[in-house]
Chain A
């Protein structure tokens, strides 16, 4: 079909036209092969120009559009939408960036910037000549979601999905639900304990028809892609039965909420594992919970004073855990409040590196201060030293607030306020190839803009498996992930981007290079025409192009970025 291309060159209110002579750009492309009309405009993205484009497309029956303006990150979708409104398939639109790549980059060389802009626009026109209409790939999606991990995030996500009508498999490797929440005494600011919250939630999901609870189950393998994942589970709650039957479930989306593990202090870290009386926060909470008498008795003595050491395993100066675990300051203060409520005469020390009791949790800090807890901030590089003397533990600490005075305090128990670390057993992560950040927690695509999606289509993340979060933050992210997973399965059908790779069966000799290069596991081998050839899974392929250059026989092409298109563009640019 004959190409009829319209070109629009944007002044960007001077951002472009101050350095690039856009009239000259227009002149030099007028008369180019297949260019039917060329226009300049003050703001291509403005309403007036969008309406102009619309009527130009309809009037002249244009089937290719080029806008030379800012970065496609900003307005590619704007102009694709204009094409669609005018009845033209959006893949006939090509974007040329003459702001970031010409006017801004070469503001010191106006003729040079103009010359480069002309070439960029011509290259875009060359690509537009090949542009053709594409239809999104449509695939069926199972109307079900697997939620992995039944901590507070997993449970709340399962409830939300169930309420929206999706079938949910809630998979938990332990024999009961609740996860880390079970170890938390009082979840501030309410007076409910972690156990009570879990009990309530457990009762709530018990009768939900949409939720299938699979406690004591591990995932042994996973395959498939967005809309159609297959997970194999194995029950491990009957230790006597080795041959517990495997179970297979088929879901449209996977929501990962595998939580965190508490940092476990090294032997000798602040005397941990060496001195009796040095415990982690979780161990201390258990100790406190178990007290029935009039006085606090532990380690064979009456406990009259307790010292909390903050940031153990978090914000490390030397170690790998550079991050702040967010919840621990407030959790430690809450435990201290629980202690002083139960045993009001306790002497409580908080050895901190600056208290981060953000938001409403600040009230806890204030209350602890009011009750006379002593907060001592020590220098980051000079942590407290723990020694044993007779029956007591001696803490030596430098106090920043009194000019780094060296102080000594006697205490009965030292509580190491340990932070969060990623779950060590990375079964789920390795099955789904979930990317991890530098801190080893699972990574979202964009912390602010796509906070619960992963690079793996159809797999969302929620809660502390993504990074340290307290209970309410975990629930926030769980509900977001549930909404996202639901949006993938709700209609039973998914539309995927059609820009994917395809294989020329004649040329392919199956050398396996492409499948090794594929970061998304989208390439497999099939037998066809009496030989092995590569097959690309359209619903997993992201169109990244990694497989193209490694193919020795040039058998793979990427839709809308074919060799012919790229070569034509390069020809123009090298003129």
Chain B
């Protein structure tokens, strides 16, 4: 028997949920949702469960990850209960639940903490540079090592345990033990969704946007790999250097076009929507990942340019900026921010397919 928890709705509102308690359960949101199916119906059900505050059920639900926030439900809600934003808040809340450190929740709920953490990273980089007496070569060498170690550490200590927690909460605790072999059989689903995010097409039929997004994911990933594994910034290999420039150029052009389209679409939506406040509730942390990714690419590009122009020794500051952005990205934004949504979504599809296949089997 599930226990009603009235504090839950108050807590959820700290994660951005709007006036979802005014929902009168008409079900328009579920009817209009292009991703909801008969077997997997949302958002009304989750709005109701959230109002009741039955935490355990919400914790074990994968449905919040099935929503890609097109906003259709919110614009049609007769009670202005903003179900789309509720789904978003549930994802933020779940991210905080999965995170064993508890930092995700803290960073979502408090802007000062977020800003403080970012400033702490700035201070750390400056102190470190000071400690190395602003020796360009040593700092750049360390920076390269840091990239590799930081990513490995974050993955092992934060992301992996969190994925395991998600797995425990959504698959194991509700008692849906899939047979061992299914984990391999369903692995394809995980990679398909992680790299293509193809489910968004069911929500938004803008193929161009999806394709650009796909290019960006691949592009940034390539750029990251080139910097971390091939050492783009320090290498003498002319092939790597040129390839790096090329990828950077593609990424910048596509990013610019993507942002432009996004702004246009939002204006359009606002003009047609009764609910002008749509997306007004996006948290600062939602945007950090995208901006920082861009800044990282931009500063990496600038550093490589400075190296090639041979002016890096007198302009260490550009590398320090890059390092700061990198550190903030790797230690704060990736493990505790919006980026994890991308990871959890893919795993949610994976877990869902484990469970459904299991049900089919039995």
Residues of A within 8 A of B (CB): 305, 347, 349, 366, 369-370, 372, 374, 376, 396, 399, 401-403, 405-409
B4 A374 Cβ-Cβ under 8 A: yes
The B36-69 residues at the A interface (CB cut-off 8 A) are 45, 48-49, 51-52, 54
B contacts, CB < 8 Å to A: 1-4, 6, 9-10, 19, 21-22, 24-25, 45, 48-49, 51-52, 54, 79
Task: Assess the B3–A408 pair: CB atoms within 8 A.
Answer: yes
Q: Chain A residues with Cβ under 8 A from B51's Cβ?
A: 374
Does A372 lie within 8 Å of B9, measured CB to CB?
yes
Q: Name A405's contact: one of B2, B19, B79 (CB within 8 Å).
A: B2
Q: How far is the CA of A376 from the CA of B10 in the complex (A)?
A: 18
Given A374-B51, A406-B2, A408-B2: 16 more A-B contacts, CB < 8 Å: A305-B6, A369-B21, A369-B22, A370-B19, A372-B6, A372-B9, A374-B6, A399-B52, A402-B52, A402-B54, A403-B45, A405-B2, A405-B52, A407-B4, A408-B4, A409-B4
**Chain A residue with Cβ nearest B23:** A369
Chain A residues near B21 (CB-CB < 8 A): 369-370, 372, 374
Contacts of A305 in B (CB 8 A): 6
The 8 Å CB contact of A370, one of B1, B22, B54, is B22
Using Cβ atoms and an 8 Å threshold, which residues of chain B touch A401?
25, 48
- Residues on B with beta carbons closer than 8 Å to the beta carbon of A396: 1
Identity of the chain A residue whose Cβ is nearest the Cβ of B24 in the assembled complex: A369
Tell me the nearest residue of chain A to B57, going by C-beta.
A405
Contacts of B48 in A (CB 8 A): 399, 401-402
> What is the distance, in angstroms, from A121's C-beta to the closest C-beta of chain B?
60
Bound-complex Cα distance A402 to B21 (A):
14
| CB nearest neighbor in A for B49 | A402
**Residues of chain A contacted by B25 (CB below 8 angstroms):** 401
A347 touches B6 (CB 8 A): yes
For residue A409, which residues in chain B have a CB less than 8 angstroms away from its CB? 3-4
B4→A406 contact, CB < 8 A: no
| Bound CA span A562–B79, Å | 69
Give A401 to B1 CA distance when docked, in angstroms: 16
Determine the chain B residues whose CB is within 8 A of the CB of A399 once the complex forms: 48, 52
- Determine whether the beta carbon of B22 is less than 8 Å from that of A366: yes
Given A401-B25, A401-B48, A402-B49, does the pair A408, B1 have CB atoms closer than 8 Å? yes
- For A365, give the chain B residue with the smallest CB separation: B24
Q: Which residues of A contact B6 (CB under 8 A)?
A: 305, 347, 372, 374
Contacts of A366 in B (CB 8 A): 22
In the complex, 12 of the A-B residue pairs with CB atoms within 8 angstroms, ordered by the A residue number, are A369-B22, A370-B19, A370-B22, A374-B4, A374-B52, A399-B48, A401-B25, A402-B54, A406-B1, A407-B3, A407-B4, A408-B4
State the CA gap A154–B52 with chains docked (Å). 45
Interface-centre pick from A347, A396, A402, A405 (highest chain B CB count, 10 A): A402
Tell me, rounded to whole Å, the shortest Cβ–Cβ distance linking A181 to chain B: 31
Chain A residues with Cβ below 8 Å from B10 are 372
> In whole Å, how far is B64's beta carbon from the nearest beta carbon of chain A?
16
The CA-CA distance from A145 to B51 in the complex, in Å, is: 55
Within 8 Å CB of B45, what residues of A? 402-403
When chains A and B are docked, how far (Å) is the Cα of A407 from the Cα of B54?
Answer: 9
CA distance A305 to B53 in the complex (A): 15
In the complex, which of the residues A374, A401, A407 has the most CB atoms of chain B within 10 Å of its own CB atom? A401
CB proximity of A382 to chain B, nearest CB, Å: 14
Contact of A407 among B2, B9, B19 (CB under 8 A): B2
- State the CA gap A505–B147 with chains docked (Å): 123
Q: Say whether, besides A305-B6, A370-B21, A372-B9, A407 and B49 are in contact (CB < 8 Å).
A: no
| Minimal beta-carbon separation of B5 from chain A (angstroms) | 9
Residues of B within 8 A of A408 (CB): 1-4
Chain A positions within 8 Å of B24 at CB level: 369
CB B80 to nearest CB in A, in angstroms, measures 10
Report how far A409 CA is from B4 CA in the complex, Å.
Answer: 5
Which B residue sits closest to A305, measured CB to CB? Answer: B6
A15 to B2, CA, bound (A): 66
Docked complex Cα distance between A401 and B6 (Å)? 17
Chain B nearest CB: distance from A146 CB in Å? 47
How far is it, in angstroms, between the C-alpha of A349 and the C-alpha of B52 when the chains are bound?
A: 10
Which B residues are in CB contact (< 8 Å) with A369?
21-22, 24, 79
| Shortest Cβ distance from B9 into A: residue | A372
Residue of B whose beta carbon sits closest to that of A346: B6
Quick one: closest B residue to A405, CB to CB?
A: B2
Q: Which of the residues A347, A372, A407 comes within 8 Å of B52, measured between beta carbons?
A: A407
Within the complex, what minimum Cβ distance (angstroms) separates B55 from chain A?
A: 12
From B3, B9, B25, B51, residue with most partner A Cβ within 10 Å? B51
Inter-chain CA distance A264–B133, complex, in Å, is: 86
Closest CB-CB distance, B47 to chain A, in whole Å?
10
| C-alpha spacing A371/B89, complex, angstroms | 20
Q: Which B residues are in CB contact (< 8 Å) with A407?
A: 1-4, 52, 54
Cα-based distance from A369 to B78 in the complex (angstroms): 14
Distance (whole angstroms) from the CB of A412 to the closest CB of chain B: 13
Give the docked Cα–Cα distance between A372 and B18 (Å): 12
**What's the Cα separation between A118 and B166 when bound, in Å?**
90
Which 10 A/B pairs are nearest by Cβ-Cβ distance? A409-B4, A347-B6, A372-B21, A406-B1, A402-B48, A408-B1, A369-B22, A401-B25, A370-B22, A408-B3
- Tell me, in angstroms, the Cα distance from A374 to B1 when the chains sit together: 18
Residues in B whose Cβ lies below 8 Å from that of A403: 45
Candidate in A347, A374, A396 with the most chain B CB atoms within 10 angstroms: A374
